[in-house]
Amino acid sequence: MMEPKNPRISIRRQCELLHLPRSSYYRDVSRILDCLELMLMRAIDELYTAHPSLGSRGMVRQLLLECDLVVNRKCVQRLMRKMGLESTSPRPNTSRPCKKHKVYPYLLRKLVVTRSNQVWATDITYIRIAGGFVYLVAIMDWYSRKVLSWEVSVTFDAAFCVSALERAIRRFGTPEIFNSDQGSHFTSDDFTVVLRNHDVKISMTGKGRCHDNIFVERLWRTVKYDDVYLKEYANVRELKDGLEEFFSYYNTRRGHSSLDGSTPDEVYFSGLQERKAS
């Protein structure tokens, strides 16, 4: 009915002729654009998870080859910025530092991790649901790959990261070293004071050094491919229930090749017993 590109009749006049309020027209157009943008973001999310080295040029090419979507590079750049994705590291660029916050040195270089609670690590990723994206943070034990705690948030503030950290400490004690990236969430006083109050050594990866936190990065791929992409959660409540079930399976029933087929729980708790015995 409407012809937005008609050079002779304006949108306003077309609405008058159709007895259609202009606000209704623009609202409908906005909904359509939002749906198209969300569809494109979902495609970018899947391609990026599969091929984290893709930049905007590569993303444009793969969108055409794998999804049959013709998108210009400026659009892809805008959406990748919106999602915080960049080709220099295989994770969302949620690690923007704050100049006012102290950045700690990286302590894991050449360190041999041999026991549970020796090193914990954390990171944040985007998780898609119907109608948008939310944020997921997880705390992991490096030795066993056990997910000690996790938290979902619709807002990008430090509170949900602090909550996940405090829950992990309440349930499992404290690590000797805690590693994260240099994101403002993890360098904030609210977060680091919890670690300092428990005499935990703080370690932070260098900018763009994604492999310094590789185990959590692998966790994100597993979460997305084995759960989120398959179930297409409709809302945050469904997502939380689904992740609760998935992380329980991941910790207690999913054997890991890197752990000789054992589960994270088996390795974590046996590691604690060995630590007490020594």
Predicted pLDDT of residue 28: 47
Residue pair 152/129 in contact (Cβ under 8 Å)? The answer is no
* CATH superfamily entry for domain 119-277: Ribonuclease H-like superfamily/Ribonuclease H (3.30.420.10)
What is the spatial distance between Cα 5 and Cα 11, in angstroms, rounded to a whole number?
9
What is the spatial distance between Cα 37 and Cα 51, in angstroms, rounded to a whole number?
20
Is residue 110 pLDDT above 70, yes or no? Answer: yes
Mean pLDDT over 79-99 rounds to 61
Contacts of 185 (CB under 8 A, 6+ apart): 94, 124, 137, 157, 158, 161, 191
Higher-confidence residue: 262 or 52? 262
Give the model's confidence band at 237: pLDDT under 50 very low, under 70 low, under 90 confident, else very high.
very high
On average, the pLDDT of the chain sits at: 82
Predicted pLDDT of residue 30: 46
Is residue 9 pLDDT above 70, yes or no? Answer: no
Predicted pLDDT of residue 2: 47
Percent of the chain with pLDDT over 90: 43
Least confident of 119-123, 128-132, 270-274: 270-274
Predicted pLDDT of residue 10: 67
In the chain, CATH 3.30.420.10 sits at 119-277
Got the DSSP string for 99-166? TTS--PPP--TTPPP-STTSEEEEEEEEEEETTEEEEEEEEEETTT--EEEEEEESS-SSHHHHHHHH
Is residue 273 pLDDT above 80, yes or no? Answer: no
φ, ψ for residue 115, nearest 5 deg: -155, 160
Predicted pLDDT of residue 207: 55
This prediction's pTM:
0.74
Percent of the chain with pLDDT over 70: 77
Higher-confidence residue: 125 or 200? 200
Higher-confidence residue: 200 or 103? 200
